[in-house]
Structure 1
Amino acid sequence: MIRNSAPTVAAAWRADDGAAVPLREATVAWALAAHAELSEIATGYGHFITVSALAERVQETSGVHTEAPTRTWMDAILRKVARRCHSAGEPPLTALCVRQNHTVGDTYKYVLELAGLPIPDDLELHAAYARWQCYQYHGADIPADRGIPPLTPKVASRRSGSATGQAETKPQQTRAAVCTQCYIQLPASGTCQYCV
């Protein structure tokens, strides 16, 4: 059946023939496409993608489209990807997907819930380490001189004060040591209480 009218907010359809696609089938197709897209992004060190850009790419890749606002369906897709990564023992690819302001936001907390880990004080730093793990896992060429994974540019800029021209007057802060397994900040003893 070819679509002759504009889709409703919750509708999904195939781009090639306009046939309606049940929402459950659409989310599976989008989640598979999102996993593939994020895996490809992870092959480039420092690469990441915004939620809206990923939403466009998964629709193009899967051939299943919707006019529903991205905010109404992408969280579910990212959760499916997070569950798949967790089940397969892969690093959390959803760390590569950020909001327009380059932060991972609340959606990333689901990765920690799946692993049974507490929410760290610095969620963005945790996500930076998770991105680094994704780059390693997917064979990105990681610079040898990178001892600490980079934050996304907008987050790094806000933290350094360079966006307001205060970088010279602000003292450099050192990052706390984190566990190499779960990326939670280590206590003074240097032993992770969650991974022992």
Structure 2
Amino acid sequence: MTRRGYWREADGSPVAATEAHEAWAREAYPRLSGVAGTYHAVITYKDLGEDVQQASGIRTSALLHNWIGAVLGRVVHEAHRRGDPPLTALVVRTDDGMVGEGYREVLELSGEQVTTEATDRENHAAVSRLECYRRFGATLPPGGGEPALAPRLEAALARRRAREPEPPAPICPTCFVQLPTAGTCDNCA
């Protein structure tokens, strides 16, 4: 028989969704703090979802995207209450390495402008990840490290940049010769 809803793994007893979300958020906080202990580390939504269910002993048949936002929302508020950087910046999608739409809650809570641009959200998350690494004891490179996009996203962007053709060199509009680096035509100047 396939279980539906939320239940305790030990005895199969049902659990209310809000109780499960609270339990999972309590498990998520130390898990994300641990991830932050390694420079440039991230965790996928899927892996975090499995980790919190395993650690709490509470399971669900609900699809991950139907409950993980409620759990991470609690983590966002707890990090803010503690004065910690937003640990949810460490949670990325499996397919593209980006934070999800729910990251806007971090921006709202911190009083920053909420953006619909994925690039802006990713850049904010990169800065937040660096703050997490610093706060939770990651060994940083000399100079303290730089904000970085999640590794999978950075690799995808690097592949895209490699496929883009190089822009054509500027041409003098008078004699149609390629301009030197200085930008002034040697023939016409």
* TM-score using structure 1 length: 0.77
Structure 1 residue 115, shift from structure 2 partner: 1.0
- CA deviation vs aligned residue, 1:138-177 (integer Å, no higher than 9, x gap): 00001115652221123212333x257437848xxxxxxx
Indicate yes or no: 2:105 matched with 1:117. no
Match in the other structure for 1:97: 91
Structure 1 residue 103, shift from structure 2 partner: 0.6
Task: Determine if contact 2:40/2:151 at 8 Å carries over to the other structure.
Answer: no
Match in the other structure for 2:181: none
Matches of 2:111 and 2:51, distance apart in 1: 31
Indicate yes or no: 2:85 matched with 1:85. no
What does residue range 130-141 of structure 1 map to in structure 2 within 5 Å?
130-141=128-139
Indicate yes or no: 2:163 matched with 1:166. yes
What is the identity, as a one-letter code, of the residue corresponding to 1:35? Answer: Y
Matches of 2:13 and 2:70, distance apart in 1: 23
Cα root mean square deviation, aligned = 1.9
- CA deviation vs aligned residue, 1:62-82 (integer Å, no higher than 9, x gap): 110001100100011010000
Q: Secondary structure at the match of 1:45?
A: coil
Match in the other structure for 1:7: 3
Is the alpha carbon distance of 1:153 and 1:143 closer, same or farther for their aligned partners in structure 2, counting shifts above 3 Å?
same
Q: Secondary structure at the match of 1:87?
A: helix
**Paired residues, number:** 163
* TM-score using structure 2 length: 0.79
Q: Secondary structure at the match of 2:75?
A: helix
Q: Secondary structure at the match of 1:21?
A: coil
Match in the other structure for 2:11: 17
Which of 51, 73, 77 is equivalent to 2:67?
73
Q: Quick check: which has more Rg, 1 or 2?
A: 2
What is the identity, as a one-letter code, of the residue corresponding to 1:84? Answer: E
Structure 1 residue 6, shift from structure 2 partner: 2.5
Q: Percent identity?
A: 38
Which of 101, 107, 111 is equivalent to 1:106?
101
Matches of 2:24 and 2:114, distance apart in 1: 27
Match in the other structure for 1:191: none
Q: Secondary structure at the match of 2:163?
A: coil
Gaps of 5+ in 2: 168-189
Is the alpha carbon distance of 1:166 and 1:146 closer, same or farther for their aligned partners in structure 2, counting shifts above 3 Å?
farther
Indicate yes or no: 2:127 matched with 1:129. yes
Match in the other structure for 2:44: 50
